[in-house]
Amino acid sequence: MANGTALNTALVTGGAGGIGGAITRALARDGWKVYIHYNRGEAAAQALAQETGGCPVQADLTFPLEVKGLFARIGEVGLLVNNAGTAHYGLLQDMTEPEWRRVFALNVDGVYRCCREAIPGMVRRKAGCILNVASVWGVRGASCEAAYSASKGAVVALTKALCKELGPSGIRVNALCPGVIDTEMIANLSPEDKRALAEDTPLGRLGRPEDVGELAAFLASPRAAFITGQVIGCDGGFGV
């Protein structure tokens, strides 16, 4: 892809899910050409592509060669949104090593691989933006979500390190830390549990995917030109 168009091109990993879909819609509205990454959700990605004018692209981010192939297909991007992720519920002592590795393989290794592929073009152009979707649990930690919390904490630390590493090249790197967002990730919770979480949130409700999408669109825009290295909560005060 030519460098002139790369500046207006975004890749959103997990781009057809709840939060990913909201980010894709907000970016497309703001004029970005969005590549909508998916692994198994082809139908949702195709539908969202028709809605937004984006382009669905498939890859399993836990395999290095698939990530390289993904970027070979799409070319350089001006914006990378590392949103794809997975969770695990249960006590740490009951967690197997393959389960632990599965969480880190996507939540951390997948972010590393996508950054590694996207950064050279950004450095060459002296411009670019990376948004890493972490979690309030990456800052606070959550009982029975040790692996998820640890993986998102790693994403927070990676964001701060890359800010310093890439700032001299004009590349901004920020982390978004959603709170309890009403998506499929919490579909296993009972209505009572969801009400309790809403009551624990100062704004008195669960988050909507659109809340995160609008934050991402702002951080990707020129309005956020002097914002980098930040870990920004989108949690209705839940993380306070």
> Which two tokens mark 230?
């930040």
Q: Are the CB atoms for 86 and 105 separated by under 8 Å?
A: no
Amino acid 147 reads A
List the Cα angle 193/83/14 in 5-degree steps.
Answer: 95
* Catalytic option among 35, 38, 112, 148: 148
Q: How many residues does the chain have?
A: 240
Question: What gap in Å lies between CA 176 and CA 174, rounded to an integer?
Answer: 7
38 is catalytic: no
Left if phi > 0, otherwise alpha if psi is -120 to 50, otherwise beta: which for 90? left
Question: Which residues carry out catalysis?
Answer: 148
